[in-house]
Amino acid sequence: MKLITGGFLVGLAVGALAFRHGGDMQGPGWSEPHGLVLPRPVATEPRQALGFAAPREASAILARLDALEADMAALTEVNDVWKLRSGEYFALQRQRINCISELEEAGYEGDRLPELLRTKLEDIDSVWPLTGIAATSYDELRQDIVRRHPGSAAELQARAATLMDCVHVVLRAGMRIHPGDYERLAALELRRKAHPDAGILILESLVGERRSRTGDRELADKWKDWIVGNLAPNTLGYRMVTRERMFGAPIRLQGTTLSGQDLDTGSWLGDVVLVDFWGMWCVPCREAMPHLKSLLDKFGSRGLRVVGVFCDHEFAKAEDWLEGQGYSWPQLADRTLTAEKFLHPLAERYAIGGFPTLWVIDRKGVLREEVDRDELEATVLRYLEEKP
């Protein structure tokens, strides 16, 4: 893997990922299934050039945003929405991006603006991979937030999102981030050290060191130590570093199950424990369940145990589904969770960000590794064959 020259991230950010409007790009009438349209610029001149209408009154735009929110909420209540109606959901997100841009152009500065800007940036991150030809247009919306809202949380979020894209461009090219660029990333991380995602820019950049045969272990350790020393314990970066350093150490998972029983994996010493972080809303999680049952049926007599950590608030729905499918292993659950706060406290403590996440705890109660589903049976068998 090649090493990127210092300052390259800044050059990428200025270049806006090198995507440009081409002759095939059209205005707001350009569409695909579910009404895909180009991003609406906030500035008047480019908005007019693309044929978008002048902004409506702020009250009308806010009403439309509320209607979009209701439509999106209804979609998320549909089982398997990401298989059946994901395109429709993303189309609504694109409409919401444009409505918020329209609201900015209309001069709105009300109390809802900070939250709407945060939503706009999150929507951009969500729809970007699906609209690659419009990548520059979306990045320009981020840069407009940087220019129009200096010193705000939205400005920092926009800067971080742009830099993250640049990091990913470098890594996808099979290269590594130059050591000098970590100082620039750290400067932004310090500015947003109270943000829940603080530290993730540095950790994503360090992926190149981990992938490379000649990766700089000292560099990686230095910046992980920096994260722990400079960011708050509740930030994602801090928790991810702490979680990474947990592997190879004893761990006990304790709590109450869906059925109301107390559970402590410390009482399972001598067995291999497979931990599954999941939720009903997660289609891949449910699709993985038959494999977990197969492993438990096959290796339960040899000392394999399975425990779920339920990251959801739909407890009755989960109980009915688990019983109907015959998945009888215990499920740690927190009955205080809601639709807005659905991560089990264990998932928050250990910075679980992807679902399902599968851990293996060995017979001595040591957390050994996070395992990919494709390698699950071979990994479980390896730990079952270890001597206690």
pLDDT at 81: 56
Q: Model confidence at 22, in pLDDT bands (50, 70, 90)?
A: very low
pLDDT at 11: 45
Instruction: Among 127, 159, 176, give the residue marking a domain's end.
Output: 176
Is it the case that residue 160 has pLDDT exceeding 50? Answer: yes
Q: Model confidence at 36, in pLDDT bands (50, 70, 90)?
A: low
Range of the domain at 328: 254-384
Residue 198 counted as domain residue: no
Residue 228 counted as domain residue: no
The amino acid present at 175, given as its one-letter code, is: M
Average the pLDDT over 227-256 and give the result: 91
Work out the end-to-end distance of the chain between its first and last CA atoms, rounded to an integer number of angstroms. 40
pLDDT at 82: 56
Q: Are residue 164 and residue 44 in the same domain, yes or no?
A: yes
Q: Model confidence at 133, in pLDDT bands (50, 70, 90)?
A: low
Is it the case that residue 350 has pLDDT exceeding 70? Answer: yes
pLDDT at 340: 82
Provide the percentage of residues in the chain whose pLDDT is more than 90: 62
Q: Model confidence at 212, in pLDDT bands (50, 70, 90)?
A: confident
Average the pLDDT over 356-365 and give the result: 95
Average pLDDT, the chain: 86
Q: Are residue 21 and residue 142 in the same domain, yes or no?
A: yes
Residue 221 counted as domain residue: no
Q: Model confidence at 293, in pLDDT bands (50, 70, 90)?
A: very high
Task: State the virtual CA torsion across 188, 219, 210, 356 in degrees, nearest 10.
Answer: -50
DSSP 252: -
Q: Are residue 149 and residue 280 in the same domain, yes or no?
A: no
* Model confidence, pTM: 0.69
Q: Are residue 168 and residue 29 in the same domain, yes or no?
A: yes
Instruction: Among 176, 196, 224, give the residue marking a domain's end.
Output: 176
Overall number of domains in the chain = 2
Q: Model confidence at 205, in pLDDT bands (50, 70, 90)?
A: very high
Q: Are residue 127 and residue 259 in the same domain, yes or no?
A: no
Is it the case that residue 15 has pLDDT exceeding 70? Answer: no
What is the Cα–Cα distance from 308 to 21, expressed in whole angstroms? Answer: 48
Higher pLDDT, 170 or 333: 333
Residue 207 counted as domain residue: no
Number of H helices, E strands in the chain: 17, 9
Q: Are residue 124 and residue 17 in the same domain, yes or no?
A: yes
- What's the Cα-to-Cα distance from 42 to each of 75, 99, 136, 152, 235, rounded to whole Å? 28, 10, 14, 18, 32
Q: Model confidence at 244, in pLDDT bands (50, 70, 90)?
A: confident
- The highest-confidence range among 37-46, 78-87, 169-178, 263-272, by mean pLDDT, is 263-272
pLDDT at 134: 59
What is the Cα–Cα distance from 280 to 313, expressed in whole angstroms? Answer: 9
Average the pLDDT over 103-121 and give the result: 96
Q: Are residue 35 and residue 156 in the same domain, yes or no?
A: yes
pLDDT at 388: 67
Average the pLDDT over 73-83 and give the result: 67
pLDDT at 173: 86
What is the Cα–Cα distance from 221 to 210, expressed in whole angstroms? Answer: 11
Q: Model confidence at 267, in pLDDT bands (50, 70, 90)?
A: very high
